[in-house]
């Protein structure tokens, strides 16, 4: 078990190396000159050349990559071209809202989606099954920003139950903290819930046709016990898989959700950095988000061995 965990952790290192390589060369070979952006439109050719020399852009691109990677390994993501603040400090200041939104979204999605999927499988081919799956397809089809604006219009503008936009840190109190995150969490989790519920239903239906399920029923166990103790436990691997895969939608959805609800998190910072062509900040954000996705998949892989001890790669 420990050997498997160690191998999986080691496997994340080359993945992050490839991500760093792609991010560096993709931004360096794209249009736009960071030195020109930092020097300003009024800079002369001499000032521009001096700025490029200070930033190391006059060196061969391979040398630039080696120097950049060396700084990266020490936790130095560079300095923002616009704010002149270390990128790591900027990311750390925005990490809290994004982490809170993502955590609440995952918790809400699992709490709602898994029971819905079990209910749909339990009432297979009935009106309840069709209703649950119909709601799932509808919510999966509606873009996050449409869901967000609809929730703002109905629950904020019309009913005045929640604030239209903004964020309150946990230090301000659990009440204000959750009150400001209710609508963003619902909007972001809508697609996630539909995805998990559909996989839960299909996985359960597949498992309920297995021989060990018929054996459990032949022993006289209650149908609820068969469903939850034997069926759901053995259907957990596909469910955990889709939760991990959904992290990709979650990371992308955070960008849209934070822009709609004016939440000062990493998603909104991504939009601001792209619009400003702040290359060091863009690189740092992509690396941090990629690391989060890799870690989530690592956790999912490790959960496989807990749910099914037969799984060893």
pLDDT at 235: 82
Tally of CA atoms within 13 A in the half-sphere of 137 that contains its CB: 6
Residue 181 binned pLDDT confidence (cut-offs 50, 70, 90): very high
- Asked whether 195 and 246 are in contact (CB, 8 A), the reply is yes
pLDDT band at 31 (very low <50, low <70, confident <90, very high): low
CB 78 within 8 A of CB 27: no
What does DSSP assign to residue 228? Answer: I
**In this predicted structure, what is the pLDDT of residue 185?**
92
Other beta carbons within 10 angstroms of residue 40's beta carbon come to: 10
- Is the pLDDT reported for residue 217 higher than 90? no
Domains of the chain and CATH, by start: 15-73 (no CATH), 87-307 (1.10.3720.10)
Q: How far apart are CA 29 and CA 211, in angstroms?
A: 57
Give residue 153's pLDDT: 92
Higher pLDDT, 47 or 66: 66
Strand partners, 234: none
pLDDT classification of 312: cutoffs 50, 70, 90: low
- State the average pLDDT for the chain: 82
Query: pLDDT, tens digit, for every residue of 112-142?
Result: 988 888 888 888 888 888 888 888 888 878 8
Cα dihedral across residues 200, 201, 202, 204: positive or negative:
positive
pLDDT in tens, 56-76: 667 777 887 888 888 888 888
């Amino acid at each position: 078990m420990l050997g498997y965990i160690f191998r999986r952790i080691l496997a994340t290192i080359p993945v992050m190396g490839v991500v760093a390589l792609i991010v560096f060369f993709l931004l360096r070979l794209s249009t736009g000159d960071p030195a020109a952006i930092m020097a300003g439109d009024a800079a002369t050719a001499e000032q521009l050349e001096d700025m490029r020399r200070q930033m190391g852009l006059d060196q061969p691109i391979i040398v630039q990559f080696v120097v950049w990677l060396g700084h990266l390994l020490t936790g130095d993501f560079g300095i923002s071209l616009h704010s002149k603040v270390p990128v790591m400090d900027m990311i750390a200041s925005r990490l809290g809202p994004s982490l809170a939104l993502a955590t609440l979204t995952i918790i809400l999605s699992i709490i709602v989606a898994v029971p819905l999927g079990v209910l749909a499988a339990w009432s297979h081919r009935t009106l309840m099954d069709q209703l649950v799956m119909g709601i799932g397809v509808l919510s999966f089809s509606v873009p996050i920003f449409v869901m967000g604006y609809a929730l703002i219009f109905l629950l904020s503008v019309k009913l005045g139950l929640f604030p239209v936009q903004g964020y309150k840190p946990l230090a301000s109190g659990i009440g204000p903290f959750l009150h400001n995150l209710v609508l963003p969490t619902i909007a972001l989790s809508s697609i996630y819930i539909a995805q998990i519920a559909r996989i839960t239903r299909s996985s359960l239906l597949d498992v309920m046709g297995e021989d060990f399920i018929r054996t459990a029923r032949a022993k006289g166990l209650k149908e609820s016990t068969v469903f939850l103790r034997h069926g759901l436990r053995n259907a957990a691997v596909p469910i955990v898989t889709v939760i991990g895969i959904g992290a990709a939608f979650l990371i992308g959805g955070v960008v849209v959700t934070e822009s709609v609800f004016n939440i000062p998190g990493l998603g909104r910072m991504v939009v601001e950095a792209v619009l400003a062509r702040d290359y060091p900040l863009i690189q740092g954000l992509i690396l941090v988000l990629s690391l989060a996705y890799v870690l989530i998949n690592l956790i999912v892989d490790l959960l496989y061995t807990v749910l099914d001890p037969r799984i060893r790669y």
